[in-house]
Amino acid sequence: MSRFLIELQYDGTDFVGWQEQPNGRTVQGELQERLSTILRTPIKIVGAGRTDTGVHATSMIAHLDVSQELGERLPDAIYRLNRFLPPDIFVLRLQRVAPDFHARFSATSRSYGYYITLYPSPFRRKYHTLVTTPLDFEQMNEAARKLLGQHDFSSFSKKHSDVTNHLCTVTQAEWQEHCEGEWVFRITANRFLRSMVRALVGTLFEVGTGHLTPEEFATILEQADDQYPFNTAPATGLRLESVTYPPHLLLNPLFLASKK
């Protein structure tokens, strides 16, 4: 068997998330069904993580295993797959990887962007969260700096999940002005808990509106209270933007969408 990485992007608006489910349209389900049809054999695809309903990805990584014979046909199959997929999914890259590569467990970091717009716009409504209340981004960034380093993020994790380890190491957390009337919260960590980014953004909104101080935000983080009633920001503005891996696990690229 040979293992391959695929990089893809998708508009999460009409999906109930990445992970295949019995009811509802999923990114994993669409990919597996259509690639299995092209290759005429069942294909299982493993993603770098699960994005929730309505969350987008500009760079999701997944892996799949195929026989050596199918591996030789895979570049052409991916090219055909892009023509066969619905317009809200597109495969960017196919790459051979080491046998011990795992899309989820080999990842060394993940980066998300949470986009907000301060003014109503029909062109941003599907990919930005509209915030009309004035926000103090200086205070929000002071609070965001408290996230850097390793912390127990129990206070910002979805309740009743099967996760037992809530430690995450954050290397970037800041609000940046993307353009006039548009801001993005960029956060990078070695791992994320379920709904963690949306919980952080929702709580940072409280800092921005003056309902919490940066110090109170830090206290919530330090308390690691899995019963803390955080406000969850809408899924609309959230995008998975990159996943990184040790270079020695990545072998030769076989398909780049820009080359076709």
Ranges for all domains in the chain classified under CATH 3.30.70.580: 2-105+246-259
Structural element, H or E, at residue 117: strand 109-117
Does CATH place domain 2-105+246-259 in 3.30.70.580? yes
DSSP per-residue codes, 161-199: -S----EEEEEEEEEEEEETTEEEEEEEES---TTHHHH
Residues 6+ apart with CB under 8 A from 231: 199, 202, 203, 205, 206
Chain mean pLDDT for the chain: 94
Per DSSP, helices labelled H in 89-149 are 137-144
pLDDT of res. 162: 72
Ranges for all domains in the chain classified under CATH 3.30.70.660: 109-241
Token pair in block for residue 74: 């895979």
CA end-to-end span of the chain: 26
Q: Are 17 and 57 in contact (CB under 8 A)?
A: no
pLDDT of res. 211: 97
Please write the tens of the pLDDT for every residue from 59-79.
Answer: 999 999 999 999 999 999 999
Residue 125 in 3-state DSSP?
A: coil
Angle at 77 between CA 73 and CA 82, to 5 degrees: 160
Q: Single out the catalytic residue among 52, 76, 88, 162.
A: 52
- Kindly state the percentage of the chain with pLDDT values over 70: 98
Which residue in 189, 184, 208 sits closest to 56, CA to CA? 184
Is 65 noted as a catalytic residue in this protein? no
Tell me the C-alpha distance between 30 and 209, whole Å: 40
Which residue in 183, 160, 186, 182 sits closest to 173, CA to CA? 186
Please write the tens of the pLDDT for every residue from 225-245.
Answer: 988 999 999 999 999 999 999
pLDDT band at 208 (very low <50, low <70, confident <90, very high): very high
pLDDT of res. 260: 44
pLDDT of res. 258: 61
Please write the tens of the pLDDT for every residue from 149-207.
Answer: 999 999 999 876 677 899 999 999 999 998 889 999 999 999 999 999 999 999 999 99
pLDDT band at 23 (very low <50, low <70, confident <90, very high): confident
Taken in order 22, 25, 31, 34, the sign of the CA dihedral is positive
Fold of 109-241: Alpha-Beta Plaits (3.30.70)
Place of tokens 């997929």: 85
Torsion from C-alpha of 19, 25, 29, 35, nearest 10 degrees: -150
Please write the tens of the pLDDT for every residue from 103-121.
Answer: 999 999 999 999 999 999 9
